[in-house]
Amino acid sequence: MSDDLLKIASEARRLIRARDHAALATSLDGWPYVSRVATACDVDASPLLLLSDLATHTRNLAAEPRVSLLSDATSGFADPLAGPRLTLLGRAERTDDPRLSARFAARHPASAVYAGFADFHLYRITIERGHLVAGFGRIAWIEGDNLRFATDTSALAAAEPEIVAHMNADHTDAVQLYAANLLGRTGEGWRMTGIDPEGLDLRRRGETARLDFPEPVLTPAAARRVLVALTEEVRRPSGSI
């Protein structure tokens, strides 16, 4: 993959990972049907949706699993059409993987109220293509194999619950500093909700934040090193080297 394509794919994954809601398009007897849904994603950036069997979009999926998902970061732009957005094409499939359910629940704590209901199920979208509009003249189609984070992430995925629990229990001060000093987010009560090869996710009540890593992290040991480095950075006195 060329350096340009690597950069474009990385930008597209950042959009997926940073958004916690998206517009979902399904097929209603051949007609496009668009609804707003809560989203999380797997460590490889494949989107996750928790859907009710009673919802129209879920009934649509039973007949046609092909979907489109729009993630956008246009808020705050004087002209929203100048902001970045990503349209994904893929197939939605039900999954009972407890790891994925835990990732979704960490991203959306309120879903714990109904996630155990018999008529709610988790869906994972297998990405086939993505169309990124990253700014004026920066528009590209990205194939699914290039868009998903393809390197083996199994070791980090298995360790994620322990890493997140440890940071929230023993290093809450560091998590607050990540939000305030690195992301400019004020207020107390920030918690880590997830970690993946390209960054970590934070949440404070209904507010979410994303901290990207400078380089991919693939193992628990590598994750520890980058978290320690970030902690040292945010605690370093201003002006020191």
What fold, for 3-147?
Answer: Pnp Oxidase; Chain A (2.30.110)
Buried b (16+ CB within 10 A) or exposed e, 198-215: bbbbbbbeeebbbbebee
pTM: 0.92
Tokens 């991919």 sit at which residue?
A: 216
Q: Measured at the alpha carbon of residue 123, what is the angle toward residues 121 and 124, in degrees to the nearest 5?
A: 155
Give the 3-state secondary structure of residue 231: helix
The pLDDT, as a whole number, for residue 238 is 56
Mean pLDDT for the stretch of residues 165-180:
96
pLDDT for 28-65, tens place per residue? 999 999 999 999 999 999 999 999 999 999 999 999 99
Superfamily covering domain 154-235:
PNP-oxidase-like (3.20.180.10)
Q: Could you say which DSSP state residue 36 is in? A: E
Residue 123: strand pairing partners: 49, 94
Alpha-carbon distance of 220 to 162, in angstroms, equals 10
Confidence band for 135, pLDDT divided at 50, 70 and 90: confident
* Whole-number percent of the chain with pLDDT over 70: 98
**106 C-beta neighbours (distance < 10 Å), count:** 20
Confidence band for 137, pLDDT divided at 50, 70 and 90: confident
Mean pLDDT for the stretch of residues 97-105:
96
The pLDDT, as a whole number, for residue 241 is 39
Give me the residue spans of the domains in the chain: 3-147, 154-235
Alpha-carbon distance of 124 to 99, in angstroms, equals 12
Q: What is the mean pLDDT of the chain?
A: 93
**155 C-beta neighbours (distance < 10 Å), count:** 14
Same fold? 3-147, 154-235? no
Confidence band for 240, pLDDT divided at 50, 70 and 90: very low
